[in-house]
């Protein structure tokens, strides 16, 4: 089996380095950061923290050098999906492409370029600490399922899930992957921008009752949009929010969007709250709070 | 009519310097070195007017003579301190407030039985030093009776301000103007503080979904519903005030934005808090104004 991970930031690297441990999987890593690519080809791709792994995927910043692959795993930031898949689609003419990205709309963007798409969502997290080296902060589960309008075949999804699980990334092949995906989207959309707008860590957002009520208002809108599409959440995002607020989990965690704002990088707001608003509009569900938060973070980006 | 101006920020400095051209003016400052600077150098006005005025200044309320008029020109966050400094003093004075938001009059009332006059000012200035203020916008100050103060008294005060070279108008009922400005400030200052944007064209943009103007419009509409339920007929449409202000060319930095950037307490309680409490009092839902209020409060909490 040949797999190409498209975008080897933190999450992409977790998949690439772990999959590269398997004898029966040949892993390619496509990334635009030449320094990172060179480090991977020279020293391997190293994970440390929650797991210590060195994998040896073949890395390239030149998409034209990619061979035909059975699977793609897209792991770029959501705003780069279209460009990344447009550049690499030729490698997936006969393959299936999964997304493990944040937010809504990635599957749609991928499906504009490839025929068989796997909906996905993943909970592990980390950060790139140096070229070729990723700190693995949190282990977690991944769910794959068909992207309904352009689905990958069931046995292909199972095959990829089985390989990921065997590589140390526990993955479920589900009939409907939208439940976990929307749970994570609602979690992210209801907490990340609040951290970004206020400067507070996740734990401090949750211990301020009026602010926690605003988070719940955002969650309720997200749940209503999911319900209108017939999506059954696999668990209540509120539980995840409260769990993450515990001192031993992520009380002091600065949401990635807050990190983006502090570094004045574009955020994923269009694919989180913007995505909930868009799906809400399509299904006749009002999302005034998500719309407001979306506009505020867009305004924040425009102030730079 | 002798006068005391309590608080010598940009608005207080503009009042003090202009009034000093027609009557005796004492400036009550918070800092002793500020008072000393004013006593030594007087107050210089540049911009739309260009003159220097001699004023008497003190940071010791015990040194105040019994004046006829006190203008409390502190920020909303400074009214409590100014009013308690006046408590038991200036028995012959009428006390006028000009703060943003609602509630300054009640704070003053809690410290004495002076006749009160409500004010809303649209003039603006920039303080270049403790003894130099630039007069920027010569838009008027509107004043009206509070708690039964005779309208003739209000008219006399308006006439004094006009004689001093500033624009002022006496209105039998100030609430319509006060509420127009309240809704304008709650919306524009809150959004500016959260996004980091000065009051520029983004606030009026309603072209693409996600543009900030939609949120500003929605916030204004909520405020208007609260005003209507409170029985207040607005003097100006806050949305039109917003659009007009963004067309002036030079983007204004609302004080709430300057405050959060400097990690100072903001006027959020007397502006956004006042509007949200009024909404609850009259039984109108104001989820977006509530969200902005909570987010700015949380932003203040993030200072420490």
CA distances from A54 to A13, A47, A132 (A): 10, 6, 10
Rounded to whole angstroms, the Cα distance separating A277 from A274 reads 5
Global pTM exceeds 0.80: yes
CA-wise closest residue to B44 among B26, B24, B18 = B18
Are B55 and B163 contained in the same domain?
Answer: yes
Q: What CATH code is carried by the domain that includes residue B196?
A: 1.10.1040.10
Instruction: Give pLDDT, residue B279.
Output: 98
Instruction: Give pLDDT, residue A248.
Output: 86
Residue B65 structure tokens: 């003579």
CA-wise closest residue to B302 among A93, A7, A254, A186 = A254
| Angle of helix B175-195 versus helix B287-301 axis, rounded to 10 | 60
From the CB of residue B169, how many other CB atoms can be counted at a distance below 10 Å? 15
Instruction: Give pLDDT, residue B264.
Output: 95
Instruction: Give pLDDT, residue A125.
Output: 87
Rounded to whole angstroms, the Cα distance separating A199 from B93 reads 45
Are B130 and B202 contained in the same domain?
Answer: no
User: Is any Cβ of chain A less than 8 angstroms from the Cβ of B62?
Assistant: no
CA-wise closest residue to B14 among B135, B122, B163, B136 = B135
| CB contact set of B63 (below 8 Å; sequence gap of 6+) | none
Cβ of B197 and A288 within 8 Å? no
Are B184 and B166 contained in the same domain?
Answer: no
Are B144 and B287 contained in the same domain?
Answer: no
User: Is any Cβ of chain B less than 8 angstroms from the Cβ of A247?
Assistant: no
Q: Where are the alpha helices (DSSP H) in chain A?
A: 10-19, 34-43, 81-88, 106-111, 154-166, 178-198, 202-207, 209-228, 237-244, 256-262, 273-282, 288-302
Rounded to whole angstroms, the Cα distance separating B293 from A269 reads 21
DSSP B70-84: EEE-S-GGGHHHHHH
| Cβ–Cβ under 8 Å, residues B234 and B179 | yes
CA distance B252 to chain A (A): 14
| CB contact set of A228 (below 8 Å; sequence gap of 6+) | A280, A283, A284, A285
Mean pLDDT of A189-203: 96
Q: Choosing among A194, A195, A198, which should be mutated to test the B contact, i.e. which has the most B CBs within 10 A?
A: A198
Cβ of B196 and A300 within 8 Å? yes
Instruction: Give pLDDT, residue A259.
Output: 86
A234-281 pLDDT, tens digit each: 999 999 999 999 998 888 888 889 989 999 999 999 999 999 999 999
Largest CA distance in chain A: 53
Are B156 and B231 contained in the same domain?
Answer: no
The residue among B142, B170, B198 that closes a domain is B170
Judge whether A298 counts as a catalytic residue. Answer: no
Only one residue has tokens 């949200």, namely B276
Are B194 and B249 contained in the same domain?
Answer: yes
Cβ of A302 and B212 within 8 Å? yes
DSSP B153-200: HHHHHHHHHHHTTS-EEE-S--HHHHHHHHHHHHHHHHHHHHH---BS
Q: Tell me how many domains chain B contains.
A: 2
Domain that holds residue B109: 3-170
A103-152 pLDDT, tens digit each: 999 999 999 999 999 999 999 988 899 999 999 988 999 999 999 999 99
Which residue out of A184, A223, A254, A298 is catalytically annotated?
A184
Are B288 and B213 contained in the same domain?
Answer: yes
| Cβ–Cβ under 8 Å, residues B85 and B115 | no
CB pairs under 8 A between A and B: 89
* Ordered per-residue pLDDT tens for chain B, 304 residues: 999 999 999 999 999 999 999 999 999 999 999 999 999 999 999 999 999 999 999 999 999 999 999 999 999 999 999 999 999 999 999 999 999 999 999 999 999 999 999 999 989 899 999 999 999 989 899 999 999 999 999 999 999 999 999 999 999 999 999 999 999 999 999 999 999 999 999 999 999 988 999 999 999 999 999 999 999 999 999 999 999 999 887 778 898 999 999 999 999 999 999 999 999 999 999 999 999 999 999 999 999 9
Tell me whether strands B116-121 and B94-97 are parallel, antiparallel or unpaired. parallel
Cβ of A293 and B291 within 8 Å? yes
Are B10 and B134 contained in the same domain?
Answer: yes
Instruction: Please report which confidence band the pLDDT of residue A9 belongs to, taking 50, 70 and 90 as the band edges.
Output: very high
Are B181 and B116 contained in the same domain?
Answer: no
Are B83 and B186 contained in the same domain?
Answer: no
Instruction: Give pLDDT, residue A154.
Output: 97
Are B230 and B82 contained in the same domain?
Answer: no
Rounded to whole angstroms, the Cα distance separating B149 from A118 reads 72
CA distances from B304 to B194, B295, B297, B298 (A): 17, 15, 12, 11
User: Is any Cβ of chain B less than 8 angstroms from the Cβ of A173?
Assistant: no
The residue among B106, B136, B170 that closes a domain is B170
Instruction: Give pLDDT, residue A137.
Output: 87
Give all strands of the β-sheet with B43-47 in edge-to-edge order: B51-53, B43-47, B132-137, B124-129
Tell me whether strands A125-130 and A133-138 are parallel, antiparallel or unpaired. antiparallel
CA distances from A12 to A17, A40, A234, A283, B212 (A): 9, 13, 24, 32, 34
Rounded to whole angstroms, the Cα distance separating B116 from B96 reads 6
Q: What CATH code is carried by the domain that includes residue B126?
A: 3.40.50.720
Rounded to whole angstroms, the Cα distance separating B273 from B165 reads 34
Cβ of B295 and A199 within 8 Å? no
Are B8 and B48 contained in the same domain?
Answer: yes
Cβ of A200 and B196 within 8 Å? no
User: Is any Cβ of chain A less than 8 angstroms from the Cβ of B212?
Assistant: yes
CA distance A93 to chain B (A): 35
Residue of B nearest to A300 (CA): B195
User: Is any Cβ of chain B less than 8 angstroms from the Cβ of A257?
Assistant: no
Residue B243 structure tokens: 């659009």
| CB contact set of A265 (below 8 Å; sequence gap of 6+) | none
Cβ of B212 and A295 within 8 Å? yes
User: Is any Cβ of chain A less than 8 angstroms from the Cβ of B214?
Assistant: yes
The mean pLDDT of chain A is 96
The residue among B139, B170, B201 that closes a domain is B170
Instruction: Give pLDDT, residue B13.
Output: 98
């Amino acid at each position: 089996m040949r797999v190409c991970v498209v975008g080897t930031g933190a999450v992409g690297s977790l998949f690439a380095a772990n999959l590269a441990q398997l004898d029966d999987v040949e892993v390619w890593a496509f990334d635009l950061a030449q320094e990172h690519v060179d480090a991977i080809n020279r020293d391997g791709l190293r994970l440390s923290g929650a797991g210590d792994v060195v994998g040896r995927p073949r890395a390239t910043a030149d998409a034209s050098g990619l061979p035909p692959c059975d699977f793609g795993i897209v792991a770029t930031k959501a705003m780069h999906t279209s460009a990344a898949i447009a550049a690499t689609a030729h490698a997936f003419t006969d393959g299936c492409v999964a997304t493990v990205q944040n937010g809504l709309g990635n599957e749609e963007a991928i499906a504009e370029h490839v025929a068989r798409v796997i909906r996905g969502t993943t909970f592990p997290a980390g950060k790139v600490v140096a070229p070729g080296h990723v700190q693995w902060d949190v282990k977690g589960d991944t769910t794959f399922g068909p992207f309904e309008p352009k689905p990958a075949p069931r046995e292909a999804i199972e095959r990829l899930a089985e390989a990921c699980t065997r590589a140390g990334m526990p993955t479920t092949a589900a009939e409907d992957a939208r439940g976990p995906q929307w749970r994570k989207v609602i979690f992210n959309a209801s907490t990340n921008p609040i951290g970004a707008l206020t400067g507070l860590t996740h734990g401090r957002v949750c211990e301020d009752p009026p602010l926690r009520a605003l988070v719940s208002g955002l969650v309720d809108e997200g749940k209503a949009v999911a319900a209108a599409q017939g999506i059954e959440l696999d668990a209540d995002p509120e539980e995840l929010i409260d769990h993450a607020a515990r001192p031993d989990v992520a009380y002091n965690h600065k949401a990635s969007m807050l990190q983006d704002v502090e570094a004045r990088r574009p955020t994923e707001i269009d694919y989180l709250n913007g995505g909930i608003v868009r799906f809400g509009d399509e299904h006749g569900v009002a999302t005034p709070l998500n719309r407001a938060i979306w506009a505020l973070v867009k305004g924040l980006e425009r102030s730079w | 009519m002798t006068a005391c101006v309590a608080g010598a920020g940009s608005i207080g400095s503009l009042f003090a310097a202009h009034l000093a051209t027609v009557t005796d003016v004492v400036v009550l400052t918070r800092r002793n070195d500020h008072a000393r600077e004013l006593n030594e150098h007087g107050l210089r006005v540049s911009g739309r007017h260009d003159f220097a005025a001699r004023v008497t200044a003190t940071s010791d309320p015990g040194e105040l003579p019994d004046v006829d008029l006190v203008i409390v020109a502190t920020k909303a966050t400074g009214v409590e301190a100014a009013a308690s400094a006046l408590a038991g003093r200036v028995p012959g004075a009428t006390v006028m407030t000009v703060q943003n938001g609602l509630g300054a009059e009640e704070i003053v009332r809690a410290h004495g039985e002076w006749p009160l006059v409500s004010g809303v000012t649209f003039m603006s200035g920039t303080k270049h030093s403790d003894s130099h203020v630039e007069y920027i916008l010569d838009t008027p100050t509107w004043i009206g009776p509070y708690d039964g103060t005779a309208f003739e008294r209000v008219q006399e005060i308006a006439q004094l301000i006009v004689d001093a070279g500033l624009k002022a108008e006496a209105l039998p009922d100030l609430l319509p103007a006060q509420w127009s400005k309240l809704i304008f400030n709650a919306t524009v200052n809150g959004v500016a503080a959260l996004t980091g944007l000065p009051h520029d064209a983004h606030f009026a943009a309603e072209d693409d979904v996600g543009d900030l103007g939609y949120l500003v419009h929605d916030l204004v509409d909520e405020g208007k519903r609260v005003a209507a339920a409170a029985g207040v007929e607005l003097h100006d449409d806050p949305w039109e005030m917003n659009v007009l202000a963004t067309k002036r060319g030079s983007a204004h930095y609302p004080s709430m934005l300057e405050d959060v950037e400097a990690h100072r307490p903001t006027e959020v309680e007397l502006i956004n808090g006042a509007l949200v409490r009024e909404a609850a009092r009259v039984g109108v839902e104001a989820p977006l104004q509530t969200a902005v209020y909570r987010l700015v409060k949380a932003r203040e909490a993030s200072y420490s």
